[in-house]
Structure 1
Amino acid sequence: NTLHISHIHLVLVSAVVCFSYLFDTSVLAEVPEKAFRPVINYSIPTHVNISFTLSAILEVDVRLQLLTSFLWINLMWDNPFISWNPEECVEVNKLTVSAENLWLPDIFIVESNSMDVDRAPTGLSAYVSSDGRIKYDRPVRVTSICNLDIFYFPFDQQNCTFTFTSFLYTVDSMLLGMDKEVWEITATSHDIIQTQGEWELLGINKATLKMLVGSNVYDQITFYVAIRRRPFLYVINLLVPSGFLIAIDAFSFFLPAESESRAPFKITLLLGYNVFLLLMNELLPASGTPLISVYFALCLSLMVLSLLETIFITYLLHLATTQPPPMPRWLHSLLL
């Protein structure tokens, strides 16, 4: 037991000495300030691998053309000034280091109206491997511009973009890549996404482009995120009641033309349909003209024409009873 305790004590002392030497003397003495890009030769660009996980689709604002989502952004790059031999450090291959003590790539989303990094938990850490590879994950609430087409509402699909690029470094200093395939990002997002609201994720694609700003060229990666609206709520609250009212109006033609309740019945249906449209107006998009609005306008027009036809027939019956004119049999059969 004494030998076993002595062995454990020796291992712990060795580890403390190893990492004290690593981070207090050799490495930190050679690591540049975190404001500078960590490279030995400044002519060599830093390769930053980017991926993300879509955790939630929080809001889609049709009027302002904005998509609000919650992302986990994953960044990975190499720091040649941080490395150690795991055999000399009790086989430790990875450590967590406070992100405040490291140089971080200035990656941002071009379409973002706001990236609420300040709402992220403080004191985030990064994983540092023995070969100098750093992996840094951060949660971000992103409100991004998205070109929304609501013509096929509520059966619409939208394609929004997330373009990741550097704010400061051109292609001479920073190159962007991916350590995951697009299908992996899509599968992980499908598994992790937590909202079961109005929108669902269909898929994610990507394209690698260059952005020219003046004489400077920036590397960028564009992700195309396809989302689809869940139409069940709108089918139950909009299409089904409207279809019932139109069907009842059509069946009202089976009422006898001589009946005095036919016209009041159609007027009641028309008023009820207008009240229905006023109540359901909040469910319709605030901007644009979706196809469903054309459908409602057409249904309303048909109900008005149906009422006018009933009024016209009632007028002819009134004439027939007060001043019976000679009427052809075919016209009598057609109208009555």
Structure 2
Amino acid sequence: MLWKPDVSIYELAEKENGPPSPYLYITHYGDVIMEDVLTVITSCSMDVYKFPFDTQNCHMTISSMVHSNSEIKLIASSNSTRITQQSRRILKTQGEWDLLNMTVTGENMTFEPGTWDIIKYTITIRRKPLLHILNFHVPVLFFLVLDLASFFIPDNKGDKISFKVTILLAISVLLLILNEILPSKSFKCPLIATYIIFIFAFMMVSLLETILVAYLTEMDSAGEEREKNSITTRKGTSTSEKDEKRRRGSNSRTSSGVNSTSQSLAGMGLGGAGEMVDLHFLQMVVQQVQDLRENPPSLAPRAQRYYSRVAKRINTAFILFYFCSSSLFLIVISVEWMD
């Protein structure tokens, strides 16, 4: 008959017993050694602030629930260095974590009936960040570069706005995937969430700026179209009036023009040569002068291009602001991650 102490793990969440060992070791000193293989799942409080460059410290506390230290003495069989070496030699899995070290400490826990011995194992592990960098950091950075490159698309192209909206939708998909990976409870907002949210905000402001520039450019285009329509209407009205006047006084203008022209040329000594002057050419010159008087050149298109100039200045200033602020943000969050 063998008595087994009630040793339990405080952080135990799930336990799976392995095959029981049929052997016992009894020394000549009276010591009885018995080994059991257990597969346990324990709870661990994780700090994912620097995810995926985070390091976690998980504790496993072993103690007796019933017997105090006056009845059971719990003593670690190995020191921290030896336990770490053995664990690294046994742990052969190529998972998401790297085992840094294990420490073992002996403590006492005092309650009113008595004092209990506790053995606490602290397991320090570090996450392997390469997969998360390739899945999240690099794509988000590529989307930011694409959004910066979209400023070189002409403003009169309608594809510019749709291109920026597509990038925003892609960032939204990455946010949904990240929400499934990160734990729901954390002491601080993870840096990777701040990283994606700020870049999403940059792209949203960039989209609003593109809409504003397109609106200002469209105002100029609409003003120029209205001016062209008004000029065409005025020309049609003035042409009909001029035709009517030309039919009424064509004879008087022609005779007076010929007489005045002949007199002026005769006074200059040209005599009969003045009679060969092309009257049709003179009528064309007079007609053009009258057209300039009735329809002076309009300065409206030049004034209407004011909105285009404003849009160009806003676009240039925003590109500089966008590039400087995004670069500063990437530098700050990189330093915070690697600190």
| TM-score (ref. length: structure 2) | 0.63
Contact (CA 8 Å) 1:207, 1:223: kept in 2 or not?
yes
Partner in structure 2 of residue 217 of structure 1? 115
- The aligned amino acid for 2:315 is L
Q: Distance in 1 between matches of 2:36 and 2:219?
A: 81
User: Does residue 195 of structure 1 match 2:66?
Assistant: no
* CA drift at 1:216: 1.3
* CA drift at 1:114: 3.8
* CA drift at 1:262: 1.4
Which of 301, 304, 329 is matched with 2:201 structurally?
Answer: 301
User: Does residue 115 of structure 1 match 2:95?
Assistant: no
Which of 261, 272, 276 is matched with 2:170 structurally?
Answer: 272
User: Does residue 148 of structure 1 match 2:43?
Assistant: no
* CA drift at 1:133: 2.6
What is the SS of the residue equivalent to 2:84? helix
Q: Distance in 1 between matches of 2:202 and 2:184?
A: 25
What is the SS of the residue equivalent to 1:164? strand
Which of the pair is proportionally richer in helix? 2
User: Does residue 129 of structure 1 match 2:7?
Assistant: no
- The aligned amino acid for 2:24 is A
Structure of larger gyration radius = 2
Q: Distance in 1 between matches of 2:200 and 2:314?
A: 24
User: Does residue 335 of structure 1 match 2:315?
Assistant: yes
Q: Distance in 2 between matches of 1:275 and 1:252?
A: 20
Q: Distance in 2 between matches of 1:279 and 1:216?
A: 50
Distance 1:179 1:123, change over 3 A: closer
How large is the Cα RMSD of the aligned pairs? Answer: 2.3
Once the two structures are superposed, residues 270-326 of structure 1 have per-residue CA deviations (whole angstroms, 9 ceiling, x without a partner) of 223223433554333344442211211111111111111111111111122233164
What is the SS of the residue equivalent to 1:141? strand
Q: Distance in 1 between matches of 2:28 and 2:97?
A: 42
* CA drift at 1:113: 3.0
Which of the pair is proportionally richer in strand? 1
What is the SS of the residue equivalent to 1:258? coil
Q: Structure 2 matches for 1:52-71, cutoff 5 A?
A: none
* CA drift at 1:103: 2.6
What is the SS of the residue equivalent to 2:53? coil
Partner in structure 2 of residue 168 of structure 1? 66
| TM-score (ref. length: structure 1) | 0.63
* CA drift at 1:132: 2.3
Contact (CA 8 Å) 1:163, 1:223: kept in 2 or not?
yes
Comparing 127-136 with 305-314, which one deviates more in the overlay? 127-136
Query: Which ranges in structure 1 are unaligned for 5 or more consecutive residues?
Result: 1-100
Which of 132, 149, 160 is matched with 1:234 structurally?
Answer: 132
Partner in structure 1 of residue 190 of structure 2? 290
What is the SS of the residue equivalent to 1:188? helix
Which of 130, 153, 167 is matched with 1:255 structurally?
Answer: 153
Q: Distance in 2 between matches of 1:167 and 1:122?
A: 22
* CA drift at 1:123: 4.4
Number of corresponding residues: 234
